Amino acid sequence: MPVSLPRTGPRGRLLATSALLVLALTAVTSCSSSGGSSSADEDPNAKITLTVNLFSDFGYADLYKEYEQAHPNITIKENRADMGAHHQNLHAHLLAGSGTADIEAIEIGQVAGFQPEAGKFVNFLDNGVSKDQWVPSKTAPASSPDGKVLFGLGTDMGGMALCYRSDLFKAAGLPTDREQVAALMKDWPSYLAAGKQFLSAGPNKDVRWFDSGGNLFTSILAQAPQGVYDADGKVVVTSNPAVKQSFDLVAGAIKDGESAGIQAFTPAWDTGFQKSQFATVACPAWMSYEFKANPPADGGKWDIARIPGGGGNWGGSYLSVPKSGKHTKAAAELAKWLTAPAQEARLFKEKGYFPSDQELWTQPDIAEHTDPLFNDAPTGKIFSQSARDLSPQPLGAHGAEIGTAIGNALTSIEQGKADPDGAWKQALKDVDNIVN
Q: Does residue 58 contact residue 155 with C-beta atoms inside 8 Å?
A: yes
Domain that holds residue 128: 9-157+315-367
Same domain, 213 and 339: no
Same-domain status, 208 and 227: yes
In a domain, 204, yes or no: yes
Above pLDDT 90, what percent of the chain?
71
Same domain, 427 and 359: no
What's residue 337's pLDDT? 98
Q: What is the mean pLDDT of residues 298-313?
A: 91
- Looking at the structure, tell me whether residues 126 and 202 fall in a common domain: no
Rounded to the nearest integer, the mean pLDDT of the chain is 88
Maximum separation of any 2 CA atoms in the chain, in Å:
70
- Select the more confidently predicted residue: 385 or 13: 385
3 inside domain: no
Average of per-residue pLDDT across 260-285: 94
Residues 72, 183 share a domain: no
* Amino acid 15: pLDDT: 33
Predicted confidence at residue 84, as pLDDT, reads 87
Q: Say yes or no to pLDDT of 410 above 60.
A: yes
Neighbours of 96 (CB within 10 A): 12
Give tens-digit pLDDT for 159-182. Answer: 899 999 999 999 999 999 999 999
pLDDT higher than 60, residue 402: yes
Give the lowest-confidence range in 38-52, 177-191, 303-317, 337-351. 38-52
* pLDDT at 31 exceeding the cut of 50: no
Looking up residue 88, the CATH number of its domain turns out to be 3.40.190.10
Kindly report, residue by residue over 346-364, the tens digit of the pLDDT: 999 998 899 999 889 999 9
Asked if residue 235 has pLDDT above 50, the reply is yes
Q: Give the model's pLDDT for residue 312.
A: 80
Is pLDDT above 80 for 238? yes
pLDDT of residue 119: 96
Residues 329 and 382 in one domain: no
Q: How confident is the model at residue 321 (pLDDT cuts 50, 70, 90)?
A: very high
Structure-model confidence comparison of residues 355 and 16, the more confident one: 355
Please tell me the predicted confidence (pLDDT) of residue 42. 59
Selection from 258, 255, 248, 276 nearest residue 200 by Cα:
258
pTM of the model: 0.84
Question: 179 in a domain, yes or no?
Answer: yes
Domain-located, residue 36: yes
Three-state SS across the chain? CCCCCCCCHHHCCCCCCHHHHHHHHHHHHHCCCCCCCCHHHHCCCCCEEEEEEECCCCCCHHHHHHHHHHCCCEEEEEEECCHHHHHHHHHHHHHHCCCCCCEEEEECCCHHHHHHHHHHECCHHHCCCCHHHECHHHHHHHECCCCCCECCEEEEEEEEEEEEEHHHHHHCCCCCCHHHHHHHCCCHHHHHHHHHHHHHHCCCCCCEEECCHHHHHHHHHCCCCCCCECCCCCECCCCCHHHHHHHHHHHHHHHCCCECCCCCCCHHHHHHHHCCCEEEEEEEHHHHHHHHHCCCCCCCCEEEEECCCCCCEEEEEEEECECCCCCHHHHHHHHHHHCCHHHHHHHHHHHCCEECEHHHHHCHHHHCCCEHHHCCECHHHHHHHHHHHCCCCCCCCCHHHHHHHHHHHHHHHHCCCCCHHHHHHHHHHHHHHHHC
> For the CA atoms of 393, 356, 383, 359, what is the dihedral angle to 10 degrees?
120
For the chain, what is the domain count?
2
pLDDT of residue 7: 40
State whether 38 and 60 are in the same domain. yes
| Residue 403 belongs to some domain of the structure | yes
What pLDDT score was predicted for residue 43? 73
88-118 tens-digit pLDDT: 999 999 999 999 999 999 999 899 999 999 9
Q: Give the integer Cα–Cα distance in Å for 330 and 49.
A: 10
Contacts of residue 297, Cβ cutoff 8 Å, sequence gap at least 6: 274, 275, 276
User: Does 309 map to a domain?
Assistant: yes
- Say yes or no to pLDDT of 185 above 70: yes
Query: Is residue 258, in this structure, part of any structural domain at all?
Result: yes
| Domain co-membership, 168 together with 246 | yes
Are 19 and 117 in a shared domain?
A: yes
* 134 part of a folded domain: yes
Residues 245 and 388 grouped into a single domain: yes
Q: Which of 1-10, 214-223, 385-394 has the lowest mean pLDDT?
A: 1-10
Q: Are residues 132 and 263 in the same domain?
A: no
Rounded mean pLDDT of 59-80? 97
What are the phi and psi torsion angles at 166 (to 5°)?
-65, -35
Residue 19 has pLDDT above 80, yes or no: no
Indicate whether 90 and 75 sit together in one domain.
yes
